[in-house]
Amino acid sequence: MNFGSDNWAGAAPEIIDAIARANDGPAPAYGGDDLTARVEARFSDLFEIDCAVYFVATGGAANGLALSVMTPPYGMVLCHEQSHVQMDECAGPEFFTGGAKLLPVAGEAGKLTPQGVAAALAGFPHRPPHGAPERVLSLTQATECGTVYSADELKALCDFAHAADLKVHMDGARFANAAASTGASAAALSWRAGVDVLCFGGTKNGCLAAEAVIFFDKAMAKDFEFRRKRAGHLWSKMRFIAAQFDAYLDDDLWLKLAGHANAMATQLSSGLAALNGVEISYPTEINQVFACFPDGVADRLKDQGAAFFPWVTPGDPANGAMHRMVTSFKTTPQEVDAFVKSVADAARS
């Protein structure tokens, strides 16, 4: 009963196979190889636009490097107060940008709204050069609370941002789950809605270590390659990231893996919602279920070997009672049923 994180699941067999296949023969280093060029080009097909694509190994690198070309070091990035860039990257965005300021903004269930962002801006008015000038709005799709922005919601946010002279960054560590959940196209959930730069994640969804930073306006990418290199994120054997994405995009593997994980979460959420005393905290829209259990239940489950963690939020209205369960491409319906049954048993005892 392993719901600790989608990161625990290892890599999909197709990904491992692709890595092994890519190991055939010599290839120029640092991304100068044919495979890398070919796979980069596949993103232009997937997103239906000529875009600039850069591969890195981690989501923290993708976000930090993307932001570093979107804001000057004295600029400000508005983000959700529960966002990964704010809470889980150990001040990584501040590091990559050379000291830009993150302004955390509140919003229901992990989602920002134009109204929420407007209020934050109103409280941090332009007074050059005193306040750090706002330059970027960072959104997470799907959000850290397991919710998803619709294409319309994204468009409203991006329109607002652009009107306020902000660029839009999207942390897409679970972009695949959002795409699978909504059925919307990759383009609809990104540049067509107004996103300027997307960090398209692979690692949480079955890749070994593969993230793509996608610039829909290629001019914005002009110094990315220098920044990636000096941050130690340019792989010498780049073909091994490219190979992962090659397999990931083949036959919509990325959507299949995410779709399965999402379905398992839906099953889990329904099962838990039916139990007395269990409260689902946020709508279950991707592969994450947030729930509050009756006293003592979490401990009993952990004693039985179930893996999952408490989820604490700014202000923490749940007083530590909320937990997050994450499903993955490897989660089975049986595993979900067993977990629901264990919760039911624990709640009863």
Picking from 85, 83, 59, the residue whose alpha carbon sits closest to that of residue 6 is 59
- Taking CB under 8 A as the rule, does residue 204 contact its own copies? yes
Is the CB of 56 or the CB of 161 nearer to its own copies? 56
Are the beta carbons of 287 and 328 closer than 8 angstroms?
Answer: yes
Q: Which one of residues 48, 123, 338, 346 is an interface residue with its own copies (CB under 8 A)?
A: 123
Are the beta carbons of 269 and 289 closer than 8 angstroms?
Answer: yes
Site string for its own copies, 292-321 (x = CB under 8 A): ---------------x----xxxxx-----
Q: Write out the binding residues for its own copies, residues 132-161 only, by CB under 8 A.
A: 132-133
Picking from 192, 181, 327, the residue whose alpha carbon sits closest to that of residue 255 is 181
Are the beta carbons of 94 and 136 closer than 8 angstroms?
Answer: no
Q: Which one of residues 231, 249, 280, 338 is an interface residue with its own copies (CB under 8 A)?
A: 231
The Cα 206–Cα 292 span in angstroms is 28
Is the CB of 49 or the CB of 74 nearer to its own copies? 74
Beginning with the edge strand found earlier in the chain, give each strand of the sheet holding 211-215 in spatial order.
52-56, 211-215, 197-201, 167-172, 134-140, 76-80, 101-105
Is the CB of 88 or the CB of 345 nearer to its own copies? 88
Residues 151, 182, 293, 349, Cα dihedral to 10°: 170
- Taking CB under 8 A as the rule, does residue 213 contact its own copies? no
Q: Write out the binding residues for its own copies, residues 25-54 only, by CB under 8 A.
A: 25-30
Are the beta carbons of 278 and 197 closer than 8 angstroms?
Answer: no
Distance of CA 151 to the CA centre of its chain: 16
Q: Which one of residues 34, 108, 217, 223 is an interface residue with its own copies (CB under 8 A)?
A: 223
- Taking CB under 8 A as the rule, does residue 165 contact its own copies? no
Residue 314 CB, shortest distance to its own copies, in Å, is: 4
Q: Write out the binding residues for its own copies, residues 238-297 only, by CB under 8 A.
A: 239-240
- Taking CB under 8 A as the rule, does residue 76 contact its own copies? yes
> Of the ranges 101-109, 140-148, 249-257, 266-274, which one interacts with its own copies (CB under 8 A)?
101-109
